[in-house]
Amino acid sequence: MSAIDTLPPLREVIAAHGLSARKSLGQNFLLDLNLTAKIARAAGDLTGADVLEIGPGPGGLTRGLLAEGARRVLAVEKDTRCLPALEEIAQAYPGRLTVLNADALEIEPLAHLTPPIRIVANLPYNVGTELLIRWLTPAEWPPVWDSLTLMFQREVAERIVARPGSKAYGRLALLAQWRCEAQIVMHLPPSAFTPPPKVSSAVVHISALPEPRYPADAATLERVVARAFNQRRKMLRAALKGMAPDIEDRLIAAGIKPTDRAETVGLEQFCALARTLDA
């Protein structure tokens, strides 16, 4: 489904509501509704799904999500100046858009939604990374959400999908890939945004797997990975020294050479190491 709505063009919306972009809120808006529809489609089949959108701003992506058939959109926006523009969208799609004026870092909006749930956002990058880590580390797996479709600075997107042996490979890759499928689905140049940011961006689509790829205790795995990559240039026997008196034996038991460095070790081996540490 793709219905271009009857609302005014976003440039007019921004002018009418005085939405000059604020740097402090990381405001780089997407004004091309074809592009926002494309991002909404990258989130998968929205018909019958509840969508949590963080940072709708003037609502370009929100309009895309609704036009692509989302059952309901819950949009969390910190900037009160955006609320009248979002209210116009709510009126054009009766009963389908709810706007919460809040800081997304301060609330837990997922409890208000009914599965299947998809999360979609074009957010300031620091907020996006913090929320991503929260969404990837819920108390229980599978999480309440089915997928995350998030805009990131290209370099952060590459860290999420990175494979062992690459510079970008680290904690974020392991955290995302342990229990999810993560893919870059779109690249965007600075010129796609108003005003243009300094760096390129990319949309990452992350879908939750029903179970982790390899068994491990989430907290132990997180601890090992954080330690290993904190000193990524050190050999693992040195980087993980404080974790167990016989760390060399445990590394060997997990199929890892104690002289290896974190960036060459794959997810399966990190999970095996977490298991031997808990044994």
Residues forming contacts to ligand SAM in the complex (CB under 6 A) are 25-30, 54-57, 60-61, 76-79, 82, 103-105, 122-124, 127
Long-range contacts of residues 19-22, Cβ cutoff 8 Å, at least 24 apart: 19/57, 19/58, 19/81, 19/82, 19/85, 21/194, 21/195, 22/79
Question: Has 122 been labeled as part of a binding site?
Answer: yes
Q: Residue 11 corresponds to which tokens in the numbers above? A: 């440039």
Beta carbon nearer to ligand SAM, 11 or 167: 11
Rounded distance between C-alpha atoms, residue 167 and residue 169, angstroms: 6
Give CA angle at 273 (272, 277), nearest 5°.
120
Contact at 8 Å (CB) between 178 and 224? no
- Give the shortest CB-253-to-ligand SAM separation in angstroms: 43
Q: Residue 226 corresponds to which tokens in the numbers above? A: 């954080």
Which pairing describes strands 201-208 and 145-153: parallel, antiparallel, or unpaired? antiparallel
Four-CA torsion 224, 269, 165, 245, nearest 10 degrees: 40
Instruction: Select the residue whose beta carbon is closest to ligand SAM and give its number.
Output: 55
- Give the shortest CB-22-to-ligand SAM separation in angstroms: 7
Beta carbon nearer to ligand SAM, 28 or 149: 28
Rounded distance between C-alpha atoms, residue 182 and residue 164, angstroms: 15
Question: Has 101 been labeled as part of a binding site?
Answer: no
Question: Has 28 been labeled as part of a binding site?
Answer: yes
Beta carbon nearer to ligand SAM, 82 or 161: 82
Beta carbon nearer to ligand SAM, 107 or 238: 107
Q: Which residues of 14-30 are buried (b: 16+ CB within 10 A; e: fewer)?
A: beebebeeeeebbbbbb
- Give the shortest CB-153-to-ligand SAM separation in angstroms: 11
- Give the shortest CB-247-to-ligand SAM separation in angstroms: 39
- Give the shortest CB-70-to-ligand SAM separation in angstroms: 14
Beta carbon nearer to ligand SAM, 4 or 238: 4
**Cβ atoms within 10 A of the Cβ of 57, count?**
28
Question: Has 30 been labeled as part of a binding site?
Answer: yes
Beta carbon nearer to ligand SAM, 54 or 274: 54
Rounded distance between C-alpha atoms, residue 159 and residue 180, angstroms: 14
- Give the shortest CB-157-to-ligand SAM separation in angstroms: 15
Query: Binding site for S-adenosyl-L-methionine, residues?
Result: 28, 30, 55, 77, 103, 122
Query: Binding site, residues?
Result: 28, 30, 55, 77, 103, 122
